Amino acid sequence: MYTELQGYKRQSYGDDSYQLITEGRVGMWLGGGFGFASTGESEFMTAIAPKPLGDSPISPNDFFATGLFISAQTEQQDACWHWLKHLSTEMVDTYSSNFPARRSVLESEASAAQASPGTREVYEAYSQVPDRAPSAQNDTNNSRSWAMEYYWFHQALDRALQGEDLEQELIEAQRTTDDYIECARQNEEEYGQACYMQVDPDYEGPRMLYTEE
């Protein structure tokens, strides 16, 4: 039986999505890195795939890069360096379950045997982005990337699961999100609650928790 899509409204924290996935009751979910696909707890085959962007190009704004560093105050610089080198040779980043930075690791025969189905396709889809010189537009987008709001996208999925027309809901979600981004760009210092309520008076996303304080 269908219940409301959990996790995108501010009153729906503590959802049971992890349990539903491991029980095989979810056919597809959105996430980053290997996530649940590498837990080894499920009894069914899991696979990953690039986002269905169609003809839209993948940009640096479509993924995040994370890393570790050696503190200047540490007395164990050599040990830290050897440890980081070891971590960089692992197929799955044990620190955050993300794709490794070393291309040689992902392109190795060992990775093909260890990785979930679809890993190669995801890698090929995203691997060319770091080679591109960032444009001024990308720099502008990156400076405000933390202001992105996916509430209306998840709302569209939620409504589609309840019987509404998915295509129409996604069109509305795109329009509202574009309006929000434009508002955020024009009001860089005070984009918060004013922009949420301006584009959607019924907004119930978790970010309202921060703007109401």
pLDDT digits (tens, 9 = 90+) for 7-20: 566 554 456 767 77
Residue 145 has pLDDT above 50, yes or no: no
On whether residue 146 sits in a domain, the answer given is no
Q: Residue 128: which domain range?
A: 60-134
On whether residue 95 sits in a domain, the answer given is yes
On whether residue 198 sits in a domain, the answer given is no
So what's the pLDDT on residue 41? 57
Residue 2 has pLDDT above 50, yes or no: no
Contacts 24+ apart (CB under 8 A), 89-95: 91/115, 92/34, 92/38, 93/33, 95/66, 95/68
Residue 45 has pLDDT above 90, yes or no: no
On whether residue 32 sits in a domain, the answer given is no
Q: What is the mean pLDDT of residues 204-210?
A: 65
Q: Express as a percent the part of the chain with pLDDT over 90.
A: 18
Tokens for 50?
A: 């690039």
What is the rounded CA–CA span in Å between residue 59 and residue 6?
28
Instruction: Write the CA distances from 200 to 40, 78, 140, 155, 183, integer angstroms.
Output: 41, 53, 25, 12, 12
Residue 204 has pLDDT above 80, yes or no: yes
Give the number of domains in the chain: 1
Q: What is the mean pLDDT of residues 165-181?
A: 94
On whether residue 122 sits in a domain, the answer given is yes
**What are φ and ψ of residue 68, in 5° steps?**
-115, 160
On whether residue 66 sits in a domain, the answer given is yes
On whether residue 112 sits in a domain, the answer given is yes
So what's the pLDDT on residue 156? 93
Q: What is the mean pLDDT of the chain?
A: 74
CA atoms within 13 A on the CB side of 159: 16
On whether residue 1 sits in a domain, the answer given is no
- DSSP-derived secondary structure letter, 7: S
Residue 133 has pLDDT above 90, yes or no: no
